[in-house]
């Protein structure tokens, strides 16, 4: 298998343009009793508030939930960052939200989630960058790598928009470049450990 | 570069000791992020070095306040909140002969002028007083002047209309060069003043308290403390308006409020 024998405690995923399809492809194979939490920033417009979650839930078995402020992170739930807030992870594994200025036009920002997740989960974190038209996630991927977490990027040739995967790869801190099908296999593999 | 929670706590503790500003119960991830950015911008490499500098250098501390207090705001932010105020709160406020409102954590004032506009359109601004407070003195100064960049007015106007506004929004301000200044009639009944929710006490009794996107920066303990402060500062049947992702979940007073509008986070104190 692709990961070393490490007990991963969380997965963070960043997606932008084209992300809905990629996310639903990945998440529809996740069982409802998945062993760890999956935490997602998908760039999204301010409204309508719960549409993304509803669409994903209609396709998936695993519970999909928009993050509530100060919520405790639990295994087997897919958390989505709310529109118009940055999502951060505290060291006690609860969520915080912030309305700090958008970063390169994005709020939520993938970098903000990934950097705080790397601080909280250290080497027990998996970070995945999917399709997108900007370079959000570049700093986050570097932080995860610096904390000995595992970094994965969607194969740019397969991605609907390759810019974001390419920007992440450009950091030279990406461990695996995989197609969605390969990421699916990987997500199921770490679940059986 | 990063640092442990203990180091962060120690730094915030020494700031509290020296300056009386208490950030020790702020949500850590965001404070950590802002400190790291500030240090990078100041080219300071280590946290203990930063700690030594900040307790000696008041100017640096003032700059630091600008960084940790997140001043981001807009007019009629979340228009549906203001729409709900029009529909569910304004009529009730109108029944009081004299109306006192507290906008806590008002930043640069856009929210305060939004509330003043609602009161004016309801015909009750002249018998209202709005206390607008924040810890950030620089922001308060901007709020007091009521002068804003002209390029934001387009989105402010759109928000106003989404919030159910039907007047001509540009009647509320005068444009001059690249900025706009809000009308004196809106400002007359606003009192701007410093107040720190983490350390200062209740200073009046209000029929309506608005505190949006401030509690998210606090940990649960401080959130609870601040909700207690609001509870003490509200009259019975007074309203409390929070930010769209904030709640009374972590407050021991949550049973003493009812939801006026669940989705918009508007509560009424019932006992
Ligand atoms: C993100 S702004 C929110 C502005 C506005 N209420 C809104 O929702 O658009 C947060 C504000 O809270 C203020 N603040 C932070 N800590 C505070 C405290 N302890 N007491 C009072 N205000 C505080 C900051 O200075 C800043 O102006």
ipTM confidence score: 0.93
Ligand 1 centroid to A6 CA: how many Å?
41
Q: Check whether A1 has a pLDDT greater than 60.
A: no
pLDDT at A193: 61
Residue A126 is predicted with a pLDDT of: 98
Q: Looking at the structure, do residues B248 and B215 belong to the same domain, yes or no?
A: yes
Q: B 201-260 residues with CB below 8 A of A?
A: 213, 216-217, 219-220, 223, 243, 245-247, 249-250
Task: Please indicate, yes or no, whether residues B107 and B14 belong to a single structural domain of this protein.
Answer: no
Q: Containing H/E element for B184? A: helix B184-187
Residues B23 and B115 in one domain: no
Q: What's the rounded mean pLDDT across residues B196-225?
A: 97
Spacing of C-alpha B149 from chain mean position: 20
Annotation says A16 is catalytic: yes
Q: Please check whether residue B125 is in contact with residue B93, taking contact to mean a CB–CB distance below 8 angstroms.
A: no
Full residue range of the structural domain in which residue B101 is found: 79-269
Q: Which CATH number belongs to the domain containing residue B259 in this structure?
A: 3.40.50.150
Report the distance separating Cα A40 and Cα A38, nearest Å.
Answer: 7
Supply the mean pLDDT for chain B.
95
Tell me, in angstroms, the distance from the centre of ligand 1 to residue B271's CA. Answer: 27
Q: How far is A27 from chain B (nearest CA, A)?
A: 25
Q: What pLDDT shows up at residue B111?
A: 98
Residue tagged active-site, from A24, A43, A98, A100: A43
| A116 inside 8 A of chain B by CB | yes
**Contact A145/A184 with Cβ under 8 angstroms?**
no
Instruction: Using the mean position of ligand 1's atoms as its centre, give its distance from the Cα of residue B217 in Å.
Output: 9
Residue A50: the pLDDT is: 86
Mean pLDDT of the region B10-27: 95
Q: Is B109 in the pocket of ligand 1 (CB under 6 A)?
A: no
Window from A10-24, A42-56, A113-127, B90-104 with minimum mean pLDDT: A42-56
Same domain, B140 and B187: yes
Ligand 1 atom nearest B22 alpha carbon: 19
- Token pair 């003195």: residue: B137
A89–B72 C-beta distance less than 8 A: no
Q: DSSP assignment of A87-106, as one string?
A: EEE-TTSBEEEE-PPPBTTB
Which pairs count as long-range contacts for B47-55, CB under 8 Å and 24+ apart, including other chains? B47/B3, B47/B7, B47/B8, B47/B11, B48/B7, B50/B11, B51/B10, B51/B11, B51/B14, B54/B11, B54/B15, B55/B14, B55/B15, B55/B18
Could you say which of A90, A91, A96 has the minimum Cβ distance to residue B216?
A96
User: If pLDDT is split at 50, 70 and 90, which confidence band does B99 have?
Assistant: very high
The answer to whether residues B25 and B219 touch, using CB atoms and an 8 Å cutoff, is yes
Considering only CB atoms, A88 lies closest to which of B30, B72, B247, namely: B30
Smallest Cβ–Cβ distance between A90 and the set B27, B70, B249 belongs to: B27
- How far is C-alpha B204 from the chain's CA centre? 17
- The answer to the question of residue B73 being in a domain is no
On whether both B179 and B86 belong to a single domain, the answer is yes
Residue A122: is its pLDDT beyond 90? yes
The partner residue sitting opposite A97, judged by closest CB among B216, B220, B249, is: B216
Q: What is the pLDDT of residue A49?
A: 74
Query: What pLDDT sits at residue A46?
Result: 80
Asked whether the predicted pLDDT for residue B213 surpasses 90, the reply is yes
| Distance, CA of A139 to CA of A137 (rounded, Å) | 6
CATH number listed for the domain at residues A10-189 = 3.40.50.180
Mean pLDDT, range B106-117, rounded to an integer: 98
pLDDT tens by residue, A85-104: 999 999 999 999 999 999 98
Same domain, B177 and B261: yes
Residue B252 has pLDDT above 70, yes or no: yes
A66 at B interface, C-beta within 8 A: no
Separation CA B232–CA B205 (nearest Å): 8
Into how many domains does chain B fold? 2
- Ligand 1 atom nearest to A99, measured from its CA: 1
Tell whether A69 lies on the interface with B, counting CB pairs under 8 A.
Answer: yes
In a domain, B153, yes or no: yes
Whether B29 sits inside 8 A of A97 (CB atoms) is: no
> Sorting pLDDT into bands at 50, 70 and 90, what band is A2?
low
The C-alpha angle with vertex B144 and arms to B265 and B116, in degrees rounded to 5, equals 45
pLDDT single digits (tens) A138-181:
999 999 999 999 999 999 999 999 999 999 999 999 999 999 99
Asked if B48 and B13 sit in the same domain, the reply is yes
On chain A, the residues whose CB falls within 8 A of the CB of B158 are none
Question: Which residue among B77, B109, B214 has the greatest number of ligand 1 atoms within 8 angstroms of its CB, and so is best to mutate?
Answer: B214
Clarify whether A116 is annotated catalytic.
Answer: no
User: Is the domain of B179 the same as that of B150?
Assistant: yes
The whole-chain average pLDDT of chain A stands at 95
Query: Is the minimum CB–CB distance between B70 and chain A shorter than 8 Å?
Result: yes
Q: What is the pLDDT of residue A192?
A: 78
CA–CA min distance B124, chain A (Å)? 31
The answer to the question of residue B74 being in a domain is: no
Phi, psi of B78 (to 5 degrees): 55, 75
Specify whether B90 is located in the same domain as B53: no
How does pLDDT run across A12-30, given as a tens digit for each residue? 999 999 999 999 999 999 9
Q: What per-residue confidence (pLDDT) applies to B138? A: 95
The verdict on B58 and B88 lying in the same domain is: no
**Is B69 close to ligand 1, i.e. is its CB under 6 Å away?**
yes
**Ligand 1 center from residue A67 Cα (angstroms):** 22
How far away, in angstroms, is B31 Cα from ligand 1 center? Answer: 13
Mean pLDDT, residues B220-234 = 97
The predicted model scores a pTM of 0.94
Nearest to A162 by CA among A28, A31, A45, A22: A22
**Residues of chain A neighbouring B220 (CB-CB closer than 8 A):** 70
To test the pocket of ligand 1, the residue of B16, B104, B108, B134 to mutate (highest count of ligand atoms within 8 Å of its CB) is B134
Q: Residue B76: its pLDDT value, please? A: 97
From B16, B44, B68, give the residue that closes a domain.
B68
């Amino acid at each position: 298998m692709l990961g070393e024998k490490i007990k991963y405690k969380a997965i963070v995923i960043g997606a932008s343009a084209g992300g809905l399809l990629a996310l639903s492809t990945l998440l529809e194979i996740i069982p409802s009793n998945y062993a760890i939490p999956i935490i997602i920033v998908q760039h999204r417009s301010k409204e309508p508030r719960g549409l993304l979650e509803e669409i994903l839930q209609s396709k998936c078995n695993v519970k999909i939930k928009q993050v509530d402020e100060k919520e405790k992170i639990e295994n087997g739930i897919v958390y989505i960052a709310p529109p118009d807030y940055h999502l951060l992870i505290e060291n006690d594994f609860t969520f915080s939200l912030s309305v700090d200025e958008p970063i390169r036009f994005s709020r939520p920002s993938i970098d903000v989630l990934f950097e705080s997740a790397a601080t909280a989960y250290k080497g027990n974190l998996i970070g995945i960058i999917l399709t997108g038209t900007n370079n959000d996630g570049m700093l986050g991927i570097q932080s995860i790598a610096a904390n000995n977490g595992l970094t994965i990027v969607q194969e740019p040739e397969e991605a609907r928009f390759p810019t974001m995967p390419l920007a992440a790869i450009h950091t030279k801190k990406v461990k695996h470049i995989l197609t969605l099908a390969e990421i699916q296999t990987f997500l199921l593999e770490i679940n059986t450990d | 570069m990063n640092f442990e929670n203990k180091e962060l706590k120690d730094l915030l503790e020494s700031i509290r000791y020296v300056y009386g500003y208490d950030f020790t119960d702020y949500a850590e991830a965001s404070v950590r992020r802002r400190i790291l950015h500030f240090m990078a911008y100041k080219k300071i490499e280590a946290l203990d070095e930063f700690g030594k500098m900040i307790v000696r250098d008041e100017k640096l501390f003032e700059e630091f306040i600008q960084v940790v207090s997140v001043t981001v705001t807009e007019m009629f932010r979340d228009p549906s909140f203001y729409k709900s105020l029009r529909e569910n709160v304004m009529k009730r406020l109108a029944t009081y002969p004299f109306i006192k409102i507290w906008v806590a954590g008002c930043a640069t004032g856009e929210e305060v002028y939004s509330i003043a506009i609602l009161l004016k359109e309801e015909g009750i601004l002249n018998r209202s007083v709005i206390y607008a407070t924040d810890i950030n003195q620089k922001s308060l100064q901007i709020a007091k002047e009521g002068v804003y960049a002209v390029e934001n007015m387009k989105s402010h106007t759109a928000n106003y209309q989404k919030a159910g506004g039907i007047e001509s929004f540009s009647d509320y301000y005068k444009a001059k060069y690249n900025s706009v200044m809000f009308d004196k009639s809106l400002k007359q009944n606003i009192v701007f003043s410093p107040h720190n929710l983490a350390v200062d006490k209740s200073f009046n009794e209000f029929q309506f308290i608005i505190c949006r996107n401030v509690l998210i920066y606090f940990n649960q303990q401080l959130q609870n403390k601040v909700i207690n402060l609001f509870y003490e500062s509200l009259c019975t049947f007074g309203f409390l308006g929070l930010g769209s992702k904030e709640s009374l979940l972590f407050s021991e007073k949550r049973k003493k409020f009812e939801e006026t509008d669940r989705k918009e986070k508007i509560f009424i104190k019932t006992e």
